[in-house]
Structure 1
């Protein structure tokens, strides 16, 4: 029974990769990863892939890829986000049994996972491959921004070709977790919590005080009445006061808050 199950999984993976290749060919778009390892890398054995951006090493380390966020797998109920399974299968095909890695400057997240840049056998960034395939979103969280420039290019390739996640519009939804939205800034204030950019939705964007120096005052105020694109993790406020927006989206880097008014 176990042997049959493994064969079925291998068949599904092969089918996905085949369909993905055919789709890319049909659109005459060449998906090329742009990020190569800069500096020395170490080799590790992989125990298993958890989802599109998380793996376990054989030595027990749980590793979160830096620079990319992929759709969530619902391991409990099977209600996966769109392209979550595709991202997971693609990551499995890229990694195999071994992977090269570099530690990020801040190498551990609040869940205890190690934060690494991962590379395939050709020293190509796995985050870059996922982004080029449209199976994840680029994200910048200081100080772990080493490969941001080329990751931006990788994502742009998929976006321009409407691959994967870029087939659907990114309308704001009142849902906790990672999000990418296009909204209009209606008012801007600043206090000890940082910058607060209210939007035309039930959403306020927060640029936290500890990293607010990444934005100049002029740049922030210039966003008023502008259509912007923002990405990060959002949560619902505990306060039910009607004076405040119900949802807060935290943005931690200028790459993740862009004026897109001219694109409209």
Structure 2
């Protein structure tokens, strides 16, 4: 009986531990501002004034089609989930990351980066990840907490939301084309690693290379990409597709370049 009780108690404690890992709490540091007027632009972007646009940190949602392009799968569902969260919340707060320097509190489009939560302390980002309507991303200094990665793993295991669509399937590096530009999940074998002044370029077995800022990478990882040679990696991030001259193609330049921003965005698969 004693042994059985020990096993039961251990299982309960493990369950509580896992639940704690999966629960995202509202930020404890950083200035919070109440939001009273808002307009949902898409699944990760809101307007809260005539000249202020907010971009949720830690996640990326499917893109709405622009200029006649089709929506990505579940883009409208992600947008509606944000609307539902805002309408159901009596009060909503916006909070910037206390670790971010002033110049890091906006993205390259000028959008303010941070987290949005309600009076209960519920994160909007977590709600989207939990429903399978967002991918988790880490872009320093906005490094995603473990609870979000945990929720993503649960959603992926359940084939929920994007994980049941083509967006949730890894693209083989050998199949990369211009049409894949944007946020992607990518898998490929590392064939070459070269070093420039500020960046490493990690070439995969396809028309794509990973660009890694040396200073940023060293702040978050002790490993250098040379150890990945001939290994298969799974990465996520935004891939740009660039035009190349004949000379650049002859020198082996890749059309696709994916900026790898943090070790969270990479996994060695063999």
TM-score > 0.5 by shorter chain: yes
Report the secondary structure of 2:83's partner residue. helix
Report the secondary structure of 1:234's partner residue. strand
Shift of the 58–103 alpha-carbon distance from structure 1 to 2, 3 Å rule, reads: same
Structure with higher Rg: it is 2
Give the Cα–Cα distance (whole angstroms) in 2 for the partners of residues 238 and 57 of structure 1. 37
In the TM superposition, residue 34 of structure 1 has moved relative to its aligned partner by 2.3
Give the Cα–Cα distance (whole angstroms) in 2 for the partners of residues 151 and 72 of structure 1. 20
Instruction: Tell me what 1:152 maps to.
Output: 149
- Alignment RMSD, CA only? 2.2
Report the secondary structure of 2:105's partner residue. strand
In the TM superposition, residue 259 of structure 1 has moved relative to its aligned partner by 0.8
Give the Cα–Cα distance (whole angstroms) in 2 for the partners of residues 46 and 161 of structure 1. 35
In the TM superposition, residue 199 of structure 1 has moved relative to its aligned partner by 0.5
Instruction: Tell me what 1:215 maps to.
Output: 221
Deviations 1:211-258 (A, max 9, x none): 131333x44222222221111111123323221111100011000011
In the TM superposition, residue 87 of structure 1 has moved relative to its aligned partner by 0.6
Instruction: Tell me what 1:35 maps to.
Output: 24
Superposition pairs for residues 47-126 of structure 1, below 5 Å?
47-58=38-49, 60-77=51-68, 79-96=70-87, 98-104=91-97, 105=100, 106-126=104-124
Question: Which structure 2 segments of 5+ residues have no match?
Answer: 1-18
Shift of the 183–210 alpha-carbon distance from structure 1 to 2, 3 Å rule, reads: same
Deviations 1:192-216 (A, max 9, x none): 1411111011100111234131333
The count of corresponding residues between Structure 1 and Structure 2 is 229
**2:243 is the counterpart of 1:246:** no
Give the Cα–Cα distance (whole angstroms) in 1 for the partners of residues 255 and 51 of structure 2. 39
Report the secondary structure of 1:108's partner residue. coil
